[in-house]
Chains A and B, each alone.
Chain A
Amino acid sequence: QSVLTQPPSVSAAPGQKVTVSCSGSSSNIGNNFVSWYRQLPGTAPKLLIYENNRRPSDIPDRFSGSKSGTSATLGITGLQTGDEADYYCGTWDSGLSAYVFGTGTKITVL
């Protein structure tokens, strides 16, 4: 059972915006940096966002990250069929002395 909670699924039409929430506590999100990963079906995860809101150079600005208190949010604008995947948040948990991933969210493009 993960200490980071994400909605199991979110969906939207092509071109729309979606957000994925990641809820934690003061021992993890509240005091450490958050990263986000995308996992396309049958492939390895890929980094989307690091240090709460920074994008690697190969990730388009359609993807954004934010953090407030003990929650983080991934935003995707201009949704594309290729964005259908599982999305995971992750952060260090100082109480557990372990890195923790969120429960994962499946994004479906209607």
Chain B
Amino acid sequence: QARLVQSGAEVKMPGASVKVSCKASGYTFTSFGITWVRQAPGQGLEWMGWISLYNGKTKSAHNVQGRVTMTSDTSTSTAYMELRSLRSDDTAIYYCARGWEAVSGSSWDYWFDPWGQGTPVIVSS
């Protein structure tokens, strides 16, 4: 049974960085990707980015580009997401999810399953 377990809650000052980990088990880590999604309090889901675990390529959303780094350690089946220069509006629950990526002609196919339990990140002075 595939499972993702994330690191614990974080409280950070504005301007600091946070690094969230996502440890995978129950499947071949490098056969899928990992996506990162966040959810601000009372808000919807916001896609942050994607890392392909078989070639290391990443894609990130425009609103966090330049502040986010997604990496992985295949020896421990763990993915990481680091967000720098934190602001108060980065306060959210951060989720990782195993991702499937495929292309059929010109049509892209992404789906995410399972998801980690979420990591609350609070940015406050």
A contact set with B: CB distance below 8 Å: 2, 31-33, 35, 37, 39, 44-47, 50-51, 56, 86, 88, 90-92, 94, 96-104
Interface hit among B13-21, B24-32, B114-122: B114-122
Q: Is the interface of A mostly helix, strand, loop or mixed?
A: strand
B contact set with A: CB distance below 8 Å: 35, 37, 44-47, 50, 59, 61-62, 95, 97, 100, 104, 106-118
On whether A97 and B59 interact (CB within 8 A), knowing A33-B107, A44-B115, A50-B111, the answer reads: yes
- Across-interface contacts of B95 in A (CB, < 8 A): 44-45
On whether A51 and B109 interact (CB within 8 A), knowing A44-B115, A101-B45, the answer reads: yes
Give B121 Cβ to nearest chain A Cβ, in Å. Answer: 15
Across the interface, name the chain B residue whose C-beta is closest to A96: B62
Give A38 Cβ to nearest chain B Cβ, in Å. Answer: 11
With contacts A47-B113, A88-B45 known, what are 14 further pairs, Cβ within 8 A? A32-B107, A32-B108, A35-B110, A44-B118, A45-B115, A46-B115, A47-B114, A90-B112, A94-B106, A96-B62, A98-B59, A99-B50, A101-B37, A101-B47
CB <8 Å contact, B115 and A88: no
Bound Cα distance from A98 to B45, whole angstroms: 13
Give B2 Cβ to nearest chain A Cβ, in Å. Answer: 11
Across the interface, name the chain A residue whose C-beta is closest to B45: A101
CB <8 Å contact, A92 and B110: yes
CB <8 Å contact, A33 and B108: yes
Bound Cα distance from A6 to B114, whole angstroms: 23
- Across-interface contacts of B104 in A (CB, < 8 A): 33
- Across-interface contacts of B37 in A (CB, < 8 A): 45, 101
Bound Cα distance from A101 to B45, whole angstroms: 6
- Across-interface contacts of B114 in A (CB, < 8 A): 46-47
For the complex of A and B, the 5 pairs showing the least CB-CB separation, nearest first, are: A50-B111, A47-B113, A92-B108, A33-B109, A44-B115
